[in-house]
Structure formats: C-alpha cells, structure tokens
Amino acid sequence: MTDLTRLTIAEARAKLRGKEIKAAEITDAYLAAIDQANPVLNAYVTVTHDKACDMARASDARLGKGEGGALEGIPLGIKDLFATEGIHTQACSHVLDGFKPRYESTVSANLWADGAVMLGKLNMDEFAMGSSNETSYYGPVINPWRRSRIDTSVVPTTHEGDGGFTAPGGIKTERALDNAQLVPGGSSGGSAAAVSAFLCAGATATDTGGSIRQPAAFTGTVGIKPTYGRCSRWGIAAFASSLDQAGPIARDVRDAAILLKSMASVDAKDTTSVDRPVPDYEAAIGRSIKGMKVGIPKEYRVDGMPEEIETLWQKGIAWLKEAGAEIVDISLPHTKYALPAYYIVAPAEASSNLARYDGVRYGLRVPGKDIVDMYEKTRAAGFGNEVKRRIMIGTYVLSAGYYDAYYLQAQKVRTLIKRDFENVFAAGVDVILTPATPSAAFGIADEDMASDPVKMYLNDIFTVTVNMAGLPGISVPAGLDPKGLPLGLQLIGRPFEEETLFQTAHVIEQAAGTFQPQKWW
C-alpha cells in the first residue's frame, strides 16, 4: 500500500481530485507520522489533531461535489510565527506564553481559502532569530538527516530513500549513520525538518536573512524567499519589517510553485504588499532555459569555503550550460559589506518591533513593585539570550550618537548592494547562481558555534544580500557532501520574476535528483 505521506503535493492533488484517496485518509497518515516522529524530531510545538480532521472532512465534502480550491485536502504545517485564530501562536518565545490570537494571518487565510488542512504549528528559532533552530523556547529541532560514517569520497548522483547510495557504475554502497544529532538550520528549522521527514506535505516559513533557504539546503528540501511585498506580512510576528518575507518550503520545485501561488496576494492590511497579479508559477515548470543568461558572482568565492561547495557550484554551472543557458561572470562588489550591514539593520528593526512585548496586554507577565519593574522582569524572563543580544545591539545602533555612525551607514550600504544587483540585471543577466550555504548541517550544541555567535551569523553569508535588496531567491537541493548530507544551490532573480527561478531551479532538480533522509527516528 502506498505511504500517503510520501506523495508530493502535485501527486496528492491529482489523487484527491480523481477520488483515488480521501483528504481524511492522507490527514490521518500525517497525524500518525507526527505522533511517532515528533517526540524525537521536535518539529511541531502544537499538533491540531481535531482541527485537522474537521478540515479534512470538509475538504472531502467539497471534493465529493466536484468543488474545492487549489490545495483542497492538502495537509500543511504552519510556522509558529504566523497568527492562527484560536491556536497557539507564540513565535516560540516564553514572552508570548498562552497567546492565541483572535485573527488569522493573511498568508494562512489564503491557504485555508484554497482548501488546505492545518496539521499544527511548527518549531522555529525564537522570533525567527537564529540559524540553527536552537534558540526556540521549546527546544531545538533535530534534523532528520544524519552523517554517514563512511566517507564515500564521491558525491553520488542518486540518493535512494532506503538509505543506500547508487554510485557511478551502478554499485550500491550501504552506509551506516552517525548518531550525532544535527541542526536543521533556522529560523524555519521546524518547517524544513517536517517537510524533509514527511510530517507534512509542505510548510509555511519566513525569511529575514536566509531563514527559508538555509534550512532548506540543510534538509534536502526546496525553499523560496519571494520578492519583498509578494506575500502579505499581516499577522506574522515581526522581526525586521523591511527584510521579513513569507514563503514556502516543499519537497520539490513544483510543490513550492503550487504553494507560493496560494500564499501570495496583495493585502490592504499590509502597505508593503505589492498590487501585482500572481502568476501561475507551476506553468513555468519544464520551460526551456535555452538562451537564458546566468550570472556567476566572483565575490561568492569566500576564503575557507569547503571544496565540496565549490564542486557543487561547478556542477550547477555545468547543468545550466548543458541546458542551453549562457554562463557569464559578474561582480557584486559590495557583497563583502552585506553581512555586517545586515546585522545592524535587522537588530535595529527588531529592537523596535519587540518593544511591544511588555507583559501588559498579552503573554507572559512577571509581577514587579511598579510598572517599570514589571516591564524589566517580564522581558528579562520572557526573551532568550539570542533575542536579548539582538535587542541590545539594535538599541545601541539606534541610540543618540551612534545612529549616524552605524544605522545610517548600514542603510547606505544596503542601497549600494541593491544597486549592484540592478546593474547586473540591467546588463542582461536573467538569474544568478550561487551556493546556498557555506557548509552542510552542523551539530546540535556545536561548541565552535555556541562560543562565537559571529560564526553562527556567517551561515547567512550567501543569503542576506537577497533580503537587503528585496529580491527573490530559491534554494534547491543539488547534491550530497562526502558524509551524505544534503547541499543546496541558490538562484537569485529579478524583482517579481519568481517564475524564472522556478523554471531554472527545475532544471537543476532534474539534473541532481531529489534527496530523502534515511529514516532512523
């Protein structure tokens, strides 16, 4: 019997519409998988069993009448940053203990309007601040991937779901798994881990500096950060308002296209959402990229980059060239300033956005001798160390005497980064190819990362420029490292040309194949 959780969204959609399966059946299959795996992987912070079953039954009733939306009966996970009416919404922070909003985020409302089923809320770094999903109040998410004890020395072209490698020449090499637990990336680590481990058909996520693309790369999934303004931010707990953007994480490029079509919309409640028609992104899948100009930025070859990242990048270049694309070298000269500028702009906006969490109206309240003492005690107890660190940095760079020296200068750098991309696209480049991350997934409680927050921040080195410039970017699985862990390639596009990203990413996907972890949980 087919494991219904292994169906892609496109496959499940076809079977649901063809009345081969019922929404209740596929929902029950996912709920059973979650019950088994979540105590180990910690991907969900809340599982909405009853609501999921009710929504699935409603979907079956609509499908039985030949009705239904684009995602009718498809079970999804929702990142805990998205407001869900009457359901746990805490941005995985202690400061929002017990908060259940009386409203629905625009993005999740769009998904429910299209018939999707909610399985629950997904774990994440607290207030989306982190690159490993270790800052969550509910504990770290565990990556469903594990390192192989056998160094294959050659990245295999095919990775089978049973955990074996199909090596060149058709020789199959079994591999043993290391017991070390790995991070799934962050901040959308719960979303990426749940999709990779078949605990939902797809998931919502958000990206402020790489928080969709980095965890997607670490888990062998597809994640797209759309153009700033493509998806409404209304009902999403704000981290850095000028950088945050919602997007999907899915198992393949087609599924990501299907999800983004439903998630995207203009919204009168969000003045930064853009009033542009939402294309049928799925229609871009399979289109030829012959004649397309692909830019390769020299600045993304950073010191100390592992050999397997460079090798993968070269493979991606070869795949696109073989498909008919023209490869051109380009320069994005202000790239080297992107990370330090980002870690001024993002904390500055975070310090302002998080000022609202004071224990007065909702969430945690720690009593004090007066209102100021209550504020201080509530925020001290409610926020984790990483959030406190960023609030302090942000408050500092916005303070009198430092605003001009830090925040204003960072905004000027941001303008120059955006101009670099504009110049490249004006010269005829259609899409830019880079690595998605500087390494494969690293270990939980990695001492090197824990002792030096800056090393953790360097995980965003290839992704932050996209947010600083407001551009769309997608991470697509492209290979495995010598220890059998997934690696991703990133494509960066012109504003509101997500179709081009899906079109090009599908070419990479066809050449690289899809990747699944060996089940150990």
Q: Maximum CA pair distance of the chain? A: 74
Q: What is the number of domains present in the chain? A: 2
Single out the catalytic residue among 93, 187, 273, 475: 187
- Whether 72 is covered by a domain: the verdict is yes
Burial class of 92 by CB neighbour count within 10 A (0 to 12, 13 to 18, 19+)? buried
- Does residue 228 sit in the same domain as residue 356? no
pLDDT of amino acid 454: 67
Structural domain for 279, as ranges: 8-293+444-456+497-512
pLDDT range class, residue 172, cuts 50, 70, 90: very low
pLDDT in tens, 83-132: 999 999 999 999 999 999 999 999 999 999 999 999 999 999 999 999 99
- Does residue 82 sit in the same domain as residue 205? yes
**Which of 301, 351, 298, 367 minimizes the C-alpha distance to 327?**
298
- Does residue 150 sit in the same domain as residue 26? yes
pLDDT of amino acid 461: 87
Residue 175 in this model has a pLDDT that exceeds 80: no
- Does residue 143 sit in the same domain as residue 182? yes
| % of the chain at pLDDT higher than 90 | 88
- Does residue 362 sit in the same domain as residue 229? no
Mean pLDDT within 390-396? 96
- Does residue 344 sit in the same domain as residue 238? no
- Whether 347 is covered by a domain: the verdict is yes
- Whether 163 is covered by a domain: the verdict is yes
Residue 466 in this model has a pLDDT that exceeds 90: yes
- Does residue 271 sit in the same domain as residue 362? no
pLDDT range class, residue 169, cuts 50, 70, 90: very low
pLDDT range class, residue 421, cuts 50, 70, 90: very high
- Does residue 220 sit in the same domain as residue 123? yes
- Whether 377 is covered by a domain: the verdict is yes
- Whether 128 is covered by a domain: the verdict is yes
Which of 291 and 453 is assigned the larger pLDDT? 291
Residue 269 in this model has a pLDDT that exceeds 50: yes
**Residue 313 has which token pair?**
């990048």
**Which of 182, 272, 263, 267 minimizes the C-alpha distance to 224?**
263
pLDDT range class, residue 161, cuts 50, 70, 90: very low
- The rounded mean pLDDT for the chain is 93
Mean pLDDT within 78-82? 98
Mean pLDDT within 329-337? 96
- Whether 465 is covered by a domain: the verdict is no
Under 8 Å between Cβ of 83 and 236: yes
Residue 218 in this model has a pLDDT that exceeds 70: yes
- 3-state SS of 206-234 is EECCCCCHHHHHHHCCEEEECCCCCCCCC
Residue 447 in this model has a pLDDT that exceeds 80: no
- Does residue 262 sit in the same domain as residue 342? no
Tell me the whole-structure pTM to 2 decimals: 0.93
Residue 391 in this model has a pLDDT that exceeds 90: yes
- Whether 302 is covered by a domain: the verdict is no
- Does residue 171 sit in the same domain as residue 56? yes
Q: Give the span between the Cα atoms of 108 and 239, in whole angstroms.
A: 18
Which of 306 and 494 is assigned the larger pLDDT? 494
pLDDT of amino acid 448: 67
**Residue burial 308-330, b: 16+ Cβ < 10 Å; e: rest:** bbeebbebbbebbeebebbeeeb
Mean pLDDT within 345-372? 95
Q: Is the dihedral of CA 70, 75, 79, 83 positive or negative?
A: positive
pLDDT of amino acid 323: 98
Mean pLDDT within 300-305? 84
pLDDT of amino acid 446: 78
Q: Give the span between the Cα atoms of 337 and 320, in whole angstroms.
A: 29
Mean pLDDT within 462-490? 97
pLDDT of amino acid 457: 65
pLDDT of amino acid 489: 98
**Beta 222-225 vs 75-79: how paired, if at all?**
unpaired
Among 83-97, 109-123, 292-306, 442-456, the least confident range? 442-456
- Does residue 231 sit in the same domain as residue 343? no
Single out the catalytic residue among 15, 22, 59, 79: 79
Domain boundary among 414, 433, 465: 414
pLDDT in tens, 4-62: 999 999 999 999 999 999 999 999 999 999 999 999 999 999 999 999 999 999 999 99
- Whether 434 is covered by a domain: the verdict is no
- Does residue 220 sit in the same domain as residue 269? yes
Single out the catalytic residue among 211, 232, 439, 475: 211
The reply to whether 153 belongs to the active site is: no
CATH number of the CATH domain containing 115: 3.90.1300.10
The reply to whether 187 belongs to the active site is: yes
